[in-house]
Structure 1
Amino acid sequence: MGMYEVAVKSSFSAAHQLIGHEGACADLHGHNWTVEAMFAAPQLDEIQMVVDFYHVKKAMETLIGKLDHKILNEVPPFDEANPTAEKLAEYFYTELKKSLPVPPSLVKVFETDHTWASYRE
């Protein structure tokens, strides 16, 4: 049986520092982050979609609004956990799963054009 997959990308700018890191990432620095949320289903819903892009975009906008142009280390839950790309991917996955009728199959967070981390259950 085949599988349908869709994805939505959004971007934001934010600073972070990685406590305990031995390199330059221990210093406060910024990134233009990109978040890509992917959804998969073996069958389409009643209007022939995996998930409505509109709902995904709105959920992403809400989450990004909490992080955009912020120091991530000061924003919950990253005030208690290093805001690594891995933890950001987990955060977006968990929050999108709570707010959408279809859970993401995978969330990727790009720290740069060449580096990313992902989270899935």
Structure 2
Amino acid sequence: MTYTLTVRDHMMVAHSFTGDMFGPAQRLHGATFVVDAAFRAAALDDNGVVVDIGRASDVLRGILSSLTYRNLDDDPRFVGVNTTTERLCAFIAEQLATAARTGTLGRDAGDLHGIAVTLHESHVAWASYELEL
């Protein structure tokens, strides 16, 4: 049995891709993503939660604020890589995992099974990345 708590936010970025497969997306373009961050645990803590929803929301907002309204092509964290939806999911998940490991979510990371991040690029397309803790 697994409990899941999910918080949602959004971000707006600009970026371009390298490679013929991306067609017109090789040119600079904007993207707006709805971002879901799911935290999973086998048991609830003493307060009856997976993680503190307020802290999870704040941490997600902090991560996304470092990306929002920016051209990711100019971000040194993404030099030499295409900032695809899949890669952005992994980046956000790893940042959330770091927050979990440092106790920022109000619960020991060892009590969590994993984190999953889903970026909804539109109502018909999205990508997810899951990591175990």
TM-score over 0.5 (shorter chain) = yes
- 1:84 alignment partner in structure 2: 84
Number of aligned positions between the proteins = 120
CA contact (8 A) 1:73 1:79 kept: yes
**What is the identity, as a one-letter code, of the residue corresponding to 2:14?**
A
- 1:10 alignment partner in structure 2: 9
Give the Cα–Cα distance (whole angstroms) in 2 for the partners of residues 60 and 6 of structure 1: 13
Give the Cα–Cα distance (whole angstroms) in 2 for the partners of residues 6 and 119 of structure 1: 16
Residue 54 of structure 2 corresponds to residue 57 of structure 1: no
CA contact (8 A) 2:97 2:115 kept: no
TM-score for both structures, normalised by structure 2:
0.83
- 2:93 alignment partner in structure 1: 93
Residue 72 of structure 2 corresponds to residue 72 of structure 1: yes
Please identify, of 65-74 and 16-25, the stretch whose mean Cα deviation from structure 2 is larger: 16-25
**Cα shift at 1:57:** 1.0
- The answer to which structure has the higher helix fraction is 2
The change in CA–CA distance for 1:51 and 1:21 in structure 2 (over 3 A counts) is farther
Query: Deviation per CA, 1:32-76, whole angstroms, max 9, x where unpaired?
Result: 111111111111001110011111111111111111111111123
RMSD: 1.5
- 1:111 alignment partner in structure 2: 121
Give the Cα–Cα distance (whole angstroms) in 1 for the partners of residues 43 and 85 of structure 2: 31
Please identify, of 111-120 and 9-18, the stretch whose mean Cα deviation from structure 2 is larger: 111-120
Percentage identity across aligned positions? Answer: 28
Residue 29 of structure 2 corresponds to residue 29 of structure 1: yes
TM-score for both structures, normalised by structure 1:
0.90
